[in-house]
Amino acid sequence: MRRPDMHVRFFLGYAGWGAQQLLKELAERAWIFVDNLDGSFLLETATPELWHKSILKQGPDFANFARFPLNLQDN
């Protein structure tokens, strides 16, 4: 049964890596990843605010990233 209040979002993109590139980036801590993220807020958040709310959920170590402007040219 489909609920009338359900929403669906599609995110399209492509990321490709050369041999061992992803492992190197993980070792350099170039990626932010977490375990057990409750993603229920993903459908409840306006798209422009999605990254901001997501990064704030990572805790105080990442709070400065949340202060970056959406358009980095505005910095």
From CA 18, how far away is CA 3, in angstroms rounded? 43
pTM of the shown model: 0.50
- pLDDT of amino acid 3: 63
Q: pLDDT tens for residues 47-64?
A: 777 778 888 888 888 888
pLDDT digit string (tens) for the chain, length 75 residues: 556 666 777 778 888 889 999 999 989 988 877 665 677 777 778 777 777 888 888 888 888 887 777 676 765
Where would I find the H helices in the chain? 21-27, 47-56, 63-66
